A = this chain, B = another copy of it.
């Protein structure tokens, strides 16, 4: 449902949400080891997110990636949108040019409401999902 890249990106962002802040930056390599991922590839994803100001970064020794307090209030879906674009979650499931009730495909009324709810659930802020990890309700990279 999501590309591998955006799965990695979401995991990494939630890892940052749990472990980092502006006083405690985390190197790409550390995250990559934690979530068992090739570090150069993760770096590229983090750079994309940083370029779009979803996460923050700083160079040099003691540098790394981190989330500011206000960044925690970003809807999680924005991470997906930057890596995958929006079409994956919005396009017609059967490939029609446009997903609409004017010209619905045969499965439209069965699945369109679910697609919409899916996007809505991912509109929750990063902090909401990070909180679940912090208090042991949910797990990353297992």
Contacts and interface: CB of A to CB of B under 8 A. Distances in A.
Interface residues of A, number: 41
Interface stretch (A20-28, A53-61, A105-113): A105-113
Nearest to A104: B138
Could you say how many copies of this chain the assembly holds?
2
A94 B7 contact: yes
A1 B1 contact: yes
Given A93-B2, A96-B139, A96-B142, A107 B7 contact: no
A4 interface: yes
Given A1-B1, A110-B121, 8 more contacts: A8-B95, A10-B94, A11-B94, A96-B141, A103-B139, A104-B138, A106-B129, A107-B129
